[in-house]
Structure 1
Protein backbone atom coordinates (compact mmCIF):
# COMPACT_ATOMS: atom_id res chain seq x y z
CA UNK A 1 0.00 0.00 0.00
CA UNK A 2 1.32 3.44 -0.95
CA UNK A 3 2.30 5.91 1.75
CA UNK A 4 1.64 9.59 1.23
CA UNK A 5 4.76 11.71 0.88
CA UNK A 6 3.47 14.21 3.42
CA UNK A 7 3.87 11.78 6.31
CA UNK A 8 6.69 10.78 8.57
CA UNK A 9 7.04 7.88 11.01
CA UNK A 10 7.10 8.42 14.77
CA UNK A 11 8.72 6.15 17.37
CA UNK A 12 5.72 3.78 17.36
CA UNK A 13 5.88 3.32 13.60
CA UNK A 14 2.65 5.25 13.01
CA UNK A 15 2.55 7.57 10.01
CA UNK A 16 1.94 11.18 11.01
CA UNK A 17 1.77 14.36 8.92
CA UNK A 18 5.13 15.96 8.39
CA UNK A 19 5.52 19.13 10.42
CA UNK A 20 8.60 19.98 8.36
CA UNK A 21 6.58 20.77 5.22
CA UNK A 22 7.40 24.27 4.07
CA UNK A 23 4.54 26.59 3.17
CA UNK A 24 4.84 29.67 1.03
CA UNK A 25 2.43 32.34 2.25
CA UNK A 26 -0.16 33.17 -0.38
CA UNK A 27 0.66 36.86 -0.11
CA UNK A 28 4.13 36.03 -1.48
CA UNK A 29 2.63 34.28 -4.50
CA UNK A 30 1.56 37.45 -6.30
CA UNK A 31 1.27 35.89 -9.74
CA UNK A 32 -1.25 33.19 -8.85
CA UNK A 33 -4.66 33.55 -10.42
CA UNK A 34 -7.78 33.32 -8.19
CA UNK A 35 -8.46 29.66 -8.95
CA UNK A 36 -4.91 28.71 -7.92
CA UNK A 37 -5.19 30.71 -4.70
CA UNK A 38 -8.52 29.11 -3.93
CA UNK A 39 -7.02 25.65 -4.45
CA UNK A 40 -4.15 26.45 -2.08
CA UNK A 41 -6.58 27.58 0.61
CA UNK A 42 -8.67 24.43 0.14
CA UNK A 43 -5.64 22.13 0.39
CA UNK A 44 -4.42 23.85 3.53
CA UNK A 45 -7.92 23.68 5.02
CA UNK A 46 -7.89 19.90 4.57
CA UNK A 47 -4.64 19.66 6.53
CA UNK A 48 -5.72 22.22 9.13
CA UNK A 49 -9.07 20.62 9.97
CA UNK A 50 -7.52 17.15 10.02
CA UNK A 51 -5.16 18.35 12.74
CA UNK A 52 -7.51 20.56 14.77
CA UNK A 53 -10.99 19.32 13.94
CA UNK A 54 -13.79 21.45 12.56
CA UNK A 55 -13.69 23.56 15.72
CA UNK A 56 -10.51 25.07 14.29
CA UNK A 57 -10.85 28.81 13.69
CA UNK A 58 -10.57 30.36 10.24
CA UNK A 59 -8.42 33.13 11.66
CA UNK A 60 -5.84 30.51 12.61
CA UNK A 61 -6.09 28.95 9.17
CA UNK A 62 -5.57 32.37 7.58
CA UNK A 63 -2.54 32.96 9.79
CA UNK A 64 -1.12 29.60 8.77
CA UNK A 65 -1.60 30.56 5.12
CA UNK A 66 0.01 33.95 5.63
CA UNK A 67 -3.12 35.89 4.63
CA UNK A 68 -5.77 37.91 6.40
CA UNK A 69 -9.08 36.41 7.45
CA UNK A 70 -11.04 38.85 5.22
CA UNK A 71 -8.98 37.69 2.24
CA UNK A 72 -9.79 34.07 3.04
CA UNK A 73 -13.50 34.98 3.09
CA UNK A 74 -13.17 36.49 -0.38
CA UNK A 75 -12.63 32.96 -1.64
CA UNK A 76 -14.91 31.14 0.80
CA UNK A 77 -17.67 33.42 2.11
CA UNK A 78 -18.26 31.35 5.24
CA UNK A 79 -16.66 28.61 7.28
CA UNK A 80 -19.49 26.33 6.13
CA UNK A 81 -18.53 26.95 2.50
CA UNK A 82 -14.92 26.07 3.29
CA UNK A 83 -15.97 22.86 5.06
CA UNK A 84 -18.13 21.92 2.07
CA UNK A 85 -15.09 22.36 -0.16
CA UNK A 86 -13.09 20.09 2.14
CA UNK A 87 -15.86 17.48 1.89
CA UNK A 88 -15.82 17.66 -1.90
CA UNK A 89 -12.03 17.48 -2.03
CA UNK A 90 -11.55 14.57 0.36
CA UNK A 91 -14.68 12.43 0.32
CA UNK A 92 -16.27 12.99 -3.07
CA UNK A 93 -13.23 13.91 -5.13
CA UNK A 94 -11.19 10.90 -4.07
CA UNK A 95 -13.90 8.37 -4.94
CA UNK A 96 -12.93 6.48 -8.11
CA UNK A 97 -15.74 5.42 -10.49
CA UNK A 98 -13.47 2.55 -11.58
CA UNK A 99 -14.13 0.89 -8.20
CA UNK A 100 -17.73 0.24 -9.18
CA UNK A 101 -16.54 -1.50 -12.33
CA UNK A 102 -14.13 -3.62 -10.32
CA UNK A 103 -16.96 -4.82 -8.07
CA UNK A 104 -19.27 -5.76 -10.94
CA UNK A 105 -16.77 -7.32 -13.39
CA UNK A 106 -17.99 -10.92 -13.45
CA UNK A 107 -15.11 -12.05 -15.62
CA UNK A 108 -13.09 -11.99 -12.38
CA UNK A 109 -13.84 -14.23 -9.35
CA UNK A 110 -15.81 -12.42 -6.64
CA UNK A 111 -13.16 -12.79 -3.95
CA UNK A 112 -10.52 -11.28 -6.23
CA UNK A 113 -12.84 -8.39 -7.07
CA UNK A 114 -13.53 -7.56 -3.44
CA UNK A 115 -9.84 -7.79 -2.54
CA UNK A 116 -8.97 -5.53 -5.49
CA UNK A 117 -11.62 -2.98 -4.54
CA UNK A 118 -10.75 -2.84 -0.86
CA UNK A 119 -7.01 -2.70 -1.47
CA UNK A 120 -7.48 0.34 -3.71
CA UNK A 121 -10.08 1.88 -1.41
CA UNK A 122 -7.78 1.45 1.58
CA UNK A 123 -5.02 3.38 -0.20
CA UNK A 124 -7.39 6.36 -0.33
CA UNK A 125 -9.07 6.26 3.08
CA UNK A 126 -6.38 4.89 5.38
CA UNK A 127 -4.61 8.23 5.59
CA UNK A 128 -4.20 10.76 8.38
CA UNK A 129 -6.39 13.35 6.68
CA UNK A 130 -9.23 11.09 5.55
CA UNK A 131 -9.70 9.20 8.82
CA UNK A 132 -9.43 12.21 11.10
CA UNK A 133 -11.69 14.42 8.98
CA UNK A 134 -14.34 11.69 8.88
CA UNK A 135 -14.18 11.23 12.66
CA UNK A 136 -14.22 14.98 13.38
CA UNK A 137 -17.14 15.48 10.99
CA UNK A 138 -19.13 12.82 12.81
CA UNK A 139 -18.42 14.30 16.23
CA UNK A 140 -19.40 17.75 14.99
CA UNK A 141 -22.58 16.31 13.41
CA UNK A 142 -22.12 18.29 10.21
CA UNK A 143 -24.16 15.92 8.09
CA UNK A 144 -21.14 15.11 5.93
CA UNK A 145 -20.90 11.52 7.14
CA UNK A 146 -24.53 10.77 6.30
CA UNK A 147 -24.05 12.12 2.79
CA UNK A 148 -20.90 10.12 2.24
CA UNK A 149 -22.34 6.91 3.65
CA UNK A 150 -25.40 7.24 1.43
CA UNK A 151 -23.07 7.49 -1.56
CA UNK A 152 -21.06 4.52 -0.29
CA UNK A 153 -24.18 2.38 0.05
CA UNK A 154 -25.42 3.22 -3.45
CA UNK A 155 -22.07 2.95 -5.24
CA UNK A 156 -20.52 0.02 -3.38
CA UNK A 157 -22.58 -1.83 -0.77
CA UNK A 158 -25.64 -2.51 -2.95
CA UNK A 159 -23.42 -3.65 -5.80
CA UNK A 160 -21.47 -5.96 -3.49
CA UNK A 161 -24.70 -7.56 -2.27
CA UNK A 162 -25.96 -8.09 -5.83
CA UNK A 163 -22.68 -9.78 -6.77
CA UNK A 164 -22.78 -11.99 -3.67
CA UNK A 165 -26.30 -13.10 -4.55
CA UNK A 166 -25.23 -13.97 -8.07
CA UNK A 167 -22.23 -15.88 -6.71
CA UNK A 168 -24.43 -18.03 -4.48
CA UNK A 169 -27.34 -18.40 -6.90
CA UNK A 170 -29.75 -16.25 -4.92
CA UNK A 171 -32.50 -13.95 -6.28
CA UNK A 172 -31.33 -10.65 -7.74
CA UNK A 173 -31.81 -7.51 -5.67
CA UNK A 174 -34.11 -6.37 -8.48
CA UNK A 175 -36.40 -9.29 -7.65
CA UNK A 176 -36.02 -9.33 -3.89
CA UNK A 177 -35.04 -6.19 -1.96
CA UNK A 178 -31.81 -6.09 -0.01
CA UNK A 179 -32.31 -7.18 3.58
CA UNK A 180 -31.15 -5.37 6.69
CA UNK A 181 -28.84 -8.26 7.59
CA UNK A 182 -27.15 -8.19 4.20
CA UNK A 183 -26.37 -4.50 4.58
CA UNK A 184 -25.15 -5.08 8.13
CA UNK A 185 -22.75 -7.80 7.00
CA UNK A 186 -21.23 -5.56 4.33
CA UNK A 187 -21.05 -2.77 6.91
CA UNK A 188 -19.11 -5.16 9.14
CA UNK A 189 -16.52 -5.84 6.46
CA UNK A 190 -16.20 -2.19 5.54
CA UNK A 191 -16.00 -1.02 9.15
CA UNK A 192 -13.29 -3.56 9.93
CA UNK A 193 -11.11 -2.07 7.20
CA UNK A 194 -11.92 1.51 8.21
CA UNK A 195 -10.95 0.64 11.79
CA UNK A 196 -7.39 -0.05 10.63
CA UNK A 197 -7.13 3.69 10.01
CA UNK A 198 -8.73 4.54 13.35
CA UNK A 199 -6.09 2.46 15.12
CA UNK A 200 -3.30 4.30 13.34
CA UNK A 201 -4.51 7.89 13.21
CA UNK A 202 -6.84 8.17 16.20
CA UNK A 203 -5.34 5.71 18.70
CA UNK A 204 -1.72 6.07 17.42
CA UNK A 205 -1.32 2.30 17.24
CA UNK A 206 0.80 0.81 14.48
CA UNK A 207 -0.38 -2.27 12.60
CA UNK A 208 1.55 -5.48 13.17
CA UNK A 209 1.35 -6.63 9.56
CA UNK A 210 0.74 -5.05 6.18
CA UNK A 211 -2.68 -3.69 5.27
CA UNK A 212 -3.11 -5.82 2.16
CA UNK A 213 -2.67 -9.05 4.12
CA UNK A 214 -5.29 -7.93 6.61
CA UNK A 215 -7.71 -6.99 3.82
CA UNK A 216 -7.23 -10.37 2.13
CA UNK A 217 -8.01 -12.18 5.38
CA UNK A 218 -11.06 -10.05 6.17
CA UNK A 219 -12.55 -10.55 2.70
CA UNK A 220 -11.99 -14.32 2.91
CA UNK A 221 -13.60 -14.45 6.36
CA UNK A 222 -16.55 -12.36 5.17
CA UNK A 223 -17.25 -14.55 2.15
CA UNK A 224 -17.01 -17.74 4.19
CA UNK A 225 -19.86 -16.66 6.44
CA UNK A 226 -22.11 -14.31 4.46
CA UNK A 227 -23.94 -17.14 2.67
CA UNK A 228 -25.80 -18.00 5.88
CA UNK A 229 -27.80 -14.75 5.88
CA UNK A 230 -28.65 -14.56 2.17
CA UNK A 231 -32.24 -15.06 0.99
CA UNK A 232 -33.16 -18.65 0.17
CA UNK A 233 -32.74 -19.92 -3.37
CA UNK A 234 -35.81 -19.66 -5.54
CA UNK A 235 -37.88 -22.84 -5.74
CA UNK A 236 -37.33 -24.78 -8.97
Structure 2
Protein backbone atom coordinates (compact mmCIF):
# COMPACT_ATOMS: atom_id res chain seq x y z
CA UNK A 1 0.00 0.00 0.00
CA UNK A 2 1.39 3.40 -0.97
CA UNK A 3 1.86 6.03 1.73
CA UNK A 4 -1.10 8.11 0.58
CA UNK A 5 -3.32 5.01 0.39
CA UNK A 6 -2.25 3.87 3.85
CA UNK A 7 -2.94 7.31 5.29
CA UNK A 8 -6.40 7.29 3.70
CA UNK A 9 -7.02 3.79 5.06
CA UNK A 10 -6.05 4.85 8.58
CA UNK A 11 -8.27 7.94 8.39
CA UNK A 12 -11.30 6.00 7.14
CA UNK A 13 -10.89 3.37 9.83
CA UNK A 14 -10.35 6.02 12.51
CA UNK A 15 -13.63 7.69 11.55
CA UNK A 16 -15.51 4.42 12.00
CA UNK A 17 -13.60 3.59 15.18
CA UNK A 18 -14.25 6.92 16.91
CA UNK A 19 -17.91 6.84 15.84
CA UNK A 20 -18.28 3.51 17.64
CA UNK A 21 -15.93 3.98 20.60
CA UNK A 22 -15.77 7.72 21.12
CA UNK A 23 -12.54 9.63 21.58
CA UNK A 24 -11.71 7.56 24.62
CA UNK A 25 -10.83 4.75 22.20
CA UNK A 26 -7.10 4.09 22.14
CA UNK A 27 -5.03 4.30 18.96
CA UNK A 28 -3.38 1.03 19.98
CA UNK A 29 -6.77 -0.66 19.73
CA UNK A 30 -7.39 1.07 16.41
CA UNK A 31 -4.11 -0.30 15.06
CA UNK A 32 -4.98 -3.80 16.24
CA UNK A 33 -8.35 -3.57 14.56
CA UNK A 34 -6.71 -2.54 11.26
CA UNK A 35 -4.05 -5.23 11.49
CA UNK A 36 -1.13 -2.78 11.51
CA UNK A 37 1.45 -1.80 14.08
CA UNK A 38 0.74 1.01 16.49
CA UNK A 39 3.77 2.91 15.23
CA UNK A 40 2.37 2.80 11.67
CA UNK A 41 -0.38 5.21 12.69
CA UNK A 42 2.16 7.70 14.02
CA UNK A 43 4.19 7.63 10.83
CA UNK A 44 1.22 9.37 9.18
CA UNK A 45 -0.30 11.22 12.15
CA UNK A 46 2.17 12.50 14.76
CA UNK A 47 -0.35 12.30 17.61
CA UNK A 48 -3.86 11.20 18.44
CA UNK A 49 -4.84 14.88 18.44
CA UNK A 50 -3.52 15.26 14.88
CA UNK A 51 -5.56 12.25 13.78
CA UNK A 52 -8.69 13.69 15.39
CA UNK A 53 -8.04 17.00 13.63
CA UNK A 54 -8.01 15.19 10.29
CA UNK A 55 -11.24 13.45 11.23
CA UNK A 56 -12.77 16.88 11.90
CA UNK A 57 -11.63 18.20 8.53
CA UNK A 58 -12.89 15.13 6.70
CA UNK A 59 -16.25 14.70 8.41
CA UNK A 60 -17.26 18.27 9.18
CA UNK A 61 -15.40 20.89 7.16
CA UNK A 62 -15.52 18.95 3.89
CA UNK A 63 -19.30 18.62 4.15
CA UNK A 64 -19.95 22.28 4.91
CA UNK A 65 -21.07 23.95 1.70
CA UNK A 66 -19.56 27.38 0.98
CA UNK A 67 -22.88 28.34 -0.65
CA UNK A 68 -24.95 28.09 2.52
CA UNK A 69 -23.97 31.43 4.02
CA UNK A 70 -24.89 33.19 0.76
CA UNK A 71 -28.17 31.30 0.52
CA UNK A 72 -29.33 32.55 3.92
CA UNK A 73 -28.72 36.15 2.83
CA UNK A 74 -30.21 35.89 -0.67
CA UNK A 75 -33.10 38.33 -0.50
CA UNK A 76 -34.36 37.38 -3.94
CA UNK A 77 -35.93 34.41 -2.12
CA UNK A 78 -38.32 34.41 0.82
CA UNK A 79 -36.73 33.62 4.17
CA UNK A 80 -38.92 30.52 4.40
CA UNK A 81 -37.52 29.30 1.06
CA UNK A 82 -33.96 30.03 2.11
CA UNK A 83 -34.22 28.25 5.45
CA UNK A 84 -36.05 25.30 3.90
CA UNK A 85 -33.43 24.88 1.18
CA UNK A 86 -30.60 25.13 3.67
CA UNK A 87 -32.01 22.53 6.04
CA UNK A 88 -33.02 20.18 3.23
CA UNK A 89 -29.41 20.25 2.01
CA UNK A 90 -28.05 20.14 5.55
CA UNK A 91 -29.84 16.95 6.52
CA UNK A 92 -28.47 15.29 3.39
CA UNK A 93 -24.95 16.02 4.64
CA UNK A 94 -25.19 15.38 8.37
CA UNK A 95 -27.78 12.64 8.83
CA UNK A 96 -25.12 9.96 8.80
CA UNK A 97 -23.95 7.53 11.50
CA UNK A 98 -20.32 8.61 11.74
CA UNK A 99 -21.09 12.36 11.58
CA UNK A 100 -23.67 12.32 14.34
CA UNK A 101 -21.93 9.98 16.76
CA UNK A 102 -18.53 11.67 16.51
CA UNK A 103 -20.27 15.01 17.02
CA UNK A 104 -21.91 13.75 20.22
CA UNK A 105 -18.78 12.03 21.54
CA UNK A 106 -16.76 15.19 20.95
CA UNK A 107 -19.22 17.21 23.01
CA UNK A 108 -18.65 14.88 25.98
CA UNK A 109 -14.84 14.98 25.83
CA UNK A 110 -12.17 17.65 25.94
CA UNK A 111 -11.82 17.72 22.14
CA UNK A 112 -13.37 20.89 20.75
CA UNK A 113 -14.81 19.58 17.47
CA UNK A 114 -18.40 20.26 18.53
CA UNK A 115 -17.63 23.76 19.82
CA UNK A 116 -15.71 24.77 16.70
CA UNK A 117 -18.37 23.43 14.38
CA UNK A 118 -21.20 25.16 16.22
CA UNK A 119 -19.32 28.44 15.97
CA UNK A 120 -19.46 28.04 12.17
CA UNK A 121 -23.19 27.33 12.35
CA UNK A 122 -23.77 30.41 14.50
CA UNK A 123 -21.64 32.76 12.41
CA UNK A 124 -22.83 31.62 8.97
CA UNK A 125 -26.42 30.52 9.60
CA UNK A 126 -27.95 31.45 12.95
CA UNK A 127 -26.93 35.10 13.28
CA UNK A 128 -27.47 35.94 9.58
CA UNK A 129 -30.92 34.34 9.77
CA UNK A 130 -31.72 36.53 12.79
CA UNK A 131 -30.77 39.62 10.82
CA UNK A 132 -32.81 38.48 7.81
CA UNK A 133 -35.91 37.98 9.93
CA UNK A 134 -35.50 41.49 11.32
CA UNK A 135 -35.25 42.79 7.76
CA UNK A 136 -38.41 40.94 6.72
CA UNK A 137 -40.31 42.41 9.67
CA UNK A 138 -38.86 45.90 9.09
CA UNK A 139 -37.35 45.93 12.56
CA UNK A 140 -34.15 47.68 13.68
CA UNK A 141 -31.00 46.31 12.09
CA UNK A 142 -28.33 44.69 14.21
CA UNK A 143 -26.12 47.72 13.51
CA UNK A 144 -28.54 49.81 15.56
CA UNK A 145 -29.74 47.17 18.02
CA UNK A 146 -27.32 44.25 18.51
CA UNK A 147 -28.69 40.75 18.34
CA UNK A 148 -29.79 39.44 21.71
CA UNK A 149 -29.20 35.94 22.99
CA UNK A 150 -32.95 35.55 23.28
CA UNK A 151 -33.55 35.96 19.55
CA UNK A 152 -30.47 33.92 18.67
CA UNK A 153 -31.91 31.13 20.80
CA UNK A 154 -35.07 31.21 18.70
CA UNK A 155 -33.06 30.05 15.70
CA UNK A 156 -31.02 27.57 17.72
CA UNK A 157 -34.37 26.06 18.63
CA UNK A 158 -35.16 25.46 14.96
CA UNK A 159 -31.69 24.04 14.34
CA UNK A 160 -31.95 21.78 17.37
CA UNK A 161 -35.40 20.55 16.40
CA UNK A 162 -34.15 19.33 13.05
CA UNK A 163 -30.88 17.89 14.35
CA UNK A 164 -32.66 16.04 17.14
CA UNK A 165 -34.06 13.66 14.56
CA UNK A 166 -30.48 12.63 13.80
CA UNK A 167 -29.82 12.10 17.51
CA UNK A 168 -32.89 9.90 17.76
CA UNK A 169 -31.83 7.88 14.73
CA UNK A 170 -28.12 7.36 15.35
CA UNK A 171 -27.67 7.74 19.11
CA UNK A 172 -30.93 6.63 20.71
CA UNK A 173 -31.65 4.28 17.79
CA UNK A 174 -35.36 4.98 17.93
CA UNK A 175 -37.64 5.16 14.87
CA UNK A 176 -37.54 8.27 12.72
CA UNK A 177 -39.27 8.93 9.40
CA UNK A 178 -37.45 7.67 6.31
CA UNK A 179 -38.42 10.75 4.31
CA UNK A 180 -37.57 14.00 6.06
CA UNK A 181 -38.33 16.64 3.42
CA UNK A 182 -41.88 17.42 4.53
CA UNK A 183 -40.88 17.34 8.18
CA UNK A 184 -38.06 19.82 7.59
CA UNK A 185 -40.34 22.18 5.66
CA UNK A 186 -43.01 21.88 8.36
CA UNK A 187 -40.42 22.71 11.04
CA UNK A 188 -39.33 25.86 9.20
CA UNK A 189 -42.89 27.02 8.54
CA UNK A 190 -44.07 26.48 12.10
CA UNK A 191 -40.94 28.15 13.46
CA UNK A 192 -41.37 31.27 11.33
CA UNK A 193 -45.04 31.47 12.24
CA UNK A 194 -44.13 31.78 15.91
CA UNK A 195 -40.93 33.79 15.52
CA UNK A 196 -42.65 36.39 13.33
CA UNK A 197 -45.08 37.14 16.15
CA UNK A 198 -42.54 36.90 18.97
CA UNK A 199 -39.56 38.84 17.62
CA UNK A 200 -41.20 42.31 17.73
CA UNK A 201 -42.07 41.64 21.38
CA UNK A 202 -38.49 40.63 22.14
CA UNK A 203 -37.09 43.83 20.66
CA UNK A 204 -39.73 45.97 22.33
CA UNK A 205 -38.92 44.40 25.70
CA UNK A 206 -35.30 45.47 25.28
Q: Give the aligned partner of residue 85 of structure 1.
A: 54
**Structure with greater proportional helix content:** 2
Q: What RMSD in Å do the two structures reach over aligned CA positions? A: 1.4
For residue 164 of structure 2, what is the aligned residue in structure 1? 195
Superposition deviation, residue 53 in structure 1: 0.9
Contact 1:157 1:183 in 2 (8 A): yes
1:176 aligns with 2:176: no
Counterpart for residue 66 of structure 1: 35
Corresponding residue for residue 222 of structure 1: 191
Alignment partners' CA distance in 2, 1:44 and 1:177: 45
How big is the shift at 1:165?
0.9
Question: Does residue 111 of the first structure (1) align with residue 80 of the second (2)?
Answer: yes
Paired position in structure 2 for 1:102: 71
Asked if 2 retains the 8 angstrom alpha-carbon contact of 1:181 and 1:229, the reply is no
Stretches of structure 2 lacking an aligned partner (at least 5 in a row): none
When normalised by structure 2's length, the TM-score is 0.92
Could you say which residue in structure 1 is the equivalent of 2:7?
38
* Rounded Cα–Cα distance in structure 2 between residues aligned with 1:216 and 1:224: 12
- Number of residue pairs aligned between Structure 1 and Structure 2: 201
Specify every segment of 5 or more residues in structure 1 that has no aligned partner in the other structure, as ranges.
Answer: 1-28
Q: Is contact 1:166–1:172 with CA below 8 Å preserved after alignment?
A: yes
Deviations 1:71-92 (A, max 9, x none): 1111111111111111111122
Alignment deviations for residues 137-192 of structure 1 (CA, whole Å, 9 cap, x no partner): 11113222111111111111111111111111112222221111111101100001
Distance in structure 2 (CA, Å) of the matches to 1:79 and 1:108: 45
Question: Is the Cα contact below 8 Å between 1:189 and 1:219 reproduced in 2?
Answer: yes
> Distance between the aligned counterparts of 2:124 and 2:86, measured in 1?
12
- Of 180, 184, 191, which aligns to 1:211? 180
Match of 1:121 among 55, 65, 90: 90
1:209 deviates by 5.7
Q: Cα 1:144–1:208, aligned 2, differ >3 Å: closer, same or farther?
A: closer
**What is the distance in 1 between the residues matched to 2:63 and 2:69?**
14
Task: Please report how far the alpha carbon of residue 65 of structure 1 lies from its aligned counterpart in structure 2 after TM superposition.
Answer: 2.4
Moved more, 183-192 or 139-148: 139-148
Distance between the aligned counterparts of 1:72 and 1:209, measured in 2?
38
